[in-house]
Amino acid sequence: MSEVASTTWRMLAQRTGGRELPRGLDAAWDAAAGMAQRLLPRTARFLRRADVVLDHEEHFATMTAAKLRAAGEEFHDIFRLGRNTSEDLLRAFAMIREVAARQIGLKAYRVQVAGALALHAGCIVEMATGEGKTLAATMPATVAGWCGKGCHVITVNDYLAKRDAEEMGQIYRFCGLKVDYIDQETPPPKRREAYHANITYCTNKEVTADYLRDRLAMGRLRGLSSSLLAHIADGNQSGTDRVVQRGLNYAIIDEADSVLVDEGVTPLIISGQAPNAEQVQAFQQAAGIAGQMLGDVHYRVNHKYREVNLTKAGKTFAAELTSQLGGIWAGQRRTEELIVQALTAREMFLLDKQYVIQDDKVVIVDDFTGRLMPDREWRDGLHQAVSAKENVEVQPPKDTYARMSFQRFFRMYRRLSGMTGTAVEASGEFWQFYHTPVVVVPTNKPCIRKQLPSRVYATQAAKWRAVIDEISRTHERGQPLLVGTRSVRDSEKISVMLTELGLEHVVLNAVRHAEEAQIVAQAGQPGRITVATNMAGRGTDIKLGRGVADLGGLYVLATDRQESGRIDRQLAGRAGRMGDPGMACRFVSLEDDLPKRYAIKMARFLRKRHRGGDETPRDIAGPLTRRLFNRAQRRAEHTAFKQRRAVLRTDHWLDEYLGFAGIER
């Protein structure tokens, strides 16, 4: 009975966890507090404390395995009972550091220990690519495991969750802890077992989906007393037996900027089938009607806000074409909604960019990672509209049973921390949404990567010619290249051009995660050309092959500028890891999506100024082009921030006004 009470209360007591975003003067005060937090010398403090941890090295290094294991048992008791002091924490970190050295052959550097201390303190830690974030996380995770309330280590895909749980599990087991992982194939009984381990590795999608399924299983039960009474009265019929999680105590999030910021706006939805043949036919009819409409005559496209609006002529034209259809088409408003949706699918969603066709189905491509998302669909009929456009099978929209954004979910944890290679740009957002300060940890060795000036071209055609020329010249020297693209379509375009020149290369765009890691890990071998979408092997080390350092190291060539400066920096960070040499350069054009969407007038002016030159690519980089791309990127980041804030406020509104029951306190 106590197990049911513990499981139910810990989960349900946090149903409305996370405060609502402040407004007015409260928002100004909160922002000022965030700025004050950023001024605190946290990095220096954590480095000083790391020195104390290293001072204990000799004490634990001289212990036998049996004594070291006994020390772990002692720490387990101290932290479980909550009798630990600050000194106990530093000694515990030193002990875990020694265990890692013996079990997996890796001893954390001073900067890794500082990062681990920052994680334990509830910070978002910026550590450069290759600096050992996975190892650093084992120290706070072990301490959290000793406390006995569970620790979730969140990764970006199933492959990394399994890999890290298996590789780091040797450390945890030596310290007397149980570690497990969850992937999309894990059955419910095994999930419950995994969540009851001391440390659980899983993805943001799996942990959020399990929380929503638990809420559905609990039904109207929204508090400890009602859950206990239901269990007493109904036993296993109450729904408490189907709950797999035991609460949201502490989360350490790997690639925190991707999970909490980039994907934070994404709602995770639990849905079910809702057959509707009439709706399916309507989507197909709408696609046919949209194909007859003319841009700027019947509709206008706003690329910045990704909107399509019918003109007066378009509304009249739509009414004429649908007047005899009846059914769903009888209402003017519904008619216009269906046609706008079909036009949006045609104008804004492009094959091999936002989606691909696989097994006669539309499969979404993640904008930030380039990975396929076969288990997701666009909402509000958009997925059906895209399917109808591509003449593949149209499935009826599903009924939504539960939904929650990742932002809303992760704010519910009692303690939250994260690590990533790029966090500074989003420090204000991390504070406003999660109240987690950002700590930048220096590299163990100085970064000697050469950041070459961006090259700008008037047209995309000129840019692609320049990219291929640069790849050819670099390949002749034997220097390896990692070519980063924004979409599957761009990666395939480069592949075709390289094949025509007879240049051997590897293309990485939305394949299985295990293959992704293996391909990216080999990107530093001599003469190797790797073409990848934005995923670019986050979480995978790229080690340089023999003689590559003398050639300048790995060359990262970006073929676009992203809508977030963090993603640009993340890609460049694949080169020059752990003090290795490396170089990075960005090739962009005035016809790229970023300037066309967020700096329309200035981009148009510069295109007129630099007409021609497609046959002989000419770099037109200068103060004006630099200002253009910087302004466009800032606008894109601000627009995305406003969207994320709106999603979070919508979540609060839904929870407040559409909840089935209040919380028992």
**CA angle, corner 20, sides to 18 and 25, nearest 5?**
135
Q: CA distances (Å), 634 to each of 216, 362, 416, 566, 624, in order?
A: 40, 32, 28, 12, 15
If you average pLDDT over residues 464-474, what whole number do you get? 96
Residue 533, pLDDT score: 81
* Main-chain dihedrals φ then ψ at residue 310, nearest 5 degrees: -75, 140
- Given a cut of 50, whether residue 158 has pLDDT beyond it is yes
Residue 235: alpha-carbon gap to chain centroid: 40
Tell me how far apart the terminal alpha carbons of the chain are, to the nearest angstrom: 20
Return the closest-CA partner of residue 463 out of 532, 555, 560: 560
- Per-residue model confidence (pLDDT) at position 227: 58
Q: What is the mean pLDDT of residues 502-507?
A: 91
Determine if residue 177 is left, alpha or beta; phi over 0 gives left, psi from -120 to 50 gives alpha, anything else beta.
Answer: beta
Give Cα separations from 445 to 53, 111, 128, 600 (angstroms). 20, 10, 11, 42
- Tell me the C-alpha distance between 10 and 7, whole Å: 6
The predicted structure's pLDDT at residue 540:
67
pLDDT at residue 61 in the model: 95
pLDDT band at 532 (very low <50, low <70, confident <90, very high): confident
Among 216-230, 266-280, 332-346, 615-629, the minimum mean pLDDT is found in 216-230
Choice between 46 and 364, residue whose per-residue pLDDT is larger: 46
| Tokens representing residue 126 in the block | 């910026």
Q: What is the pLDDT of residues 250-308, one digit of tens each?
A: 999 999 998 999 888 777 877 777 777 888 889 999 999 999 999 889 999 887 778 89
Closest residue by Cα to residue 174 from 95, 115, 117: 95
Write the pLDDT tens digit of every residue in 508-519.
Answer: 876 444 566 677
Cβ contacts of residue 100 below 8 Å, gap of 6+? Answer: 106, 107, 108, 135, 138, 171
Q: Considering only 78-82, 187-191, 197-201, 643-647, which range has the smallest mean pLDDT?
A: 643-647
Check residue 645 and give its pLDDT.
83
pLDDT average, residue stretch 229-257: 76
Helix (H, G, I), strand (E, B) or coil at 402: strand
Residue 663 has pLDDT above 70, yes or no: no
Whether 206 shows a pLDDT value over 50: the answer reads: yes
Q: What is the pLDDT of residues 603-643, one digit of tens each?
A: 999 988 887 655 678 899 999 999 999 999 999 999 888 88
314 φ, ψ (degrees, to nearest 5): -65, -40
Q: Where are the alpha helices (DSSP H) in 56-109?
A: 57-61, 65-80, 86-103
pLDDT number for residue 150: 93
pLDDT at 612: 64
pLDDT value for 491: 87
Which tens digits make up the pLDDT trace of 103-129?
Answer: 999 999 999 999 999 999 999 999 998
Give the domains, in start order, of the chain with CATH numbers.
2-269+406-440 (3.40.50.300), 274-397 (3.90.1440.10), 450-642 (3.40.50.300)
**What percent of the chain stands above pLDDT 90?**
53
The pLDDT tens digits for 556-612 are 999 999 888 888 998 888 899 888 999 999 999 999 999 988 998 999 999 888 876
- Phi, psi of 412, deg, nearest 5: -85, -15
Stronger pLDDT, 135 or 280, i.e. the higher one: 135
Tokens of 442: 């220096």
C-alpha to C-alpha distance for 550 and 440, rounded to whole angstroms: 30
In terms of Cβ atoms closer than 10 Å to its own Cβ (0-12, 13-18, 19+), residue 189 is exposed
Q: Is the pLDDT of residue 473 over 50?
A: yes
Which is nearest to 285 in space by CA: 349, 334, 352, 356? 334
Locate 460 and state its tokens: 């995309």
Residue 332: HSE in the Cβ half-sphere, 13 Å Cα cutoff = 7
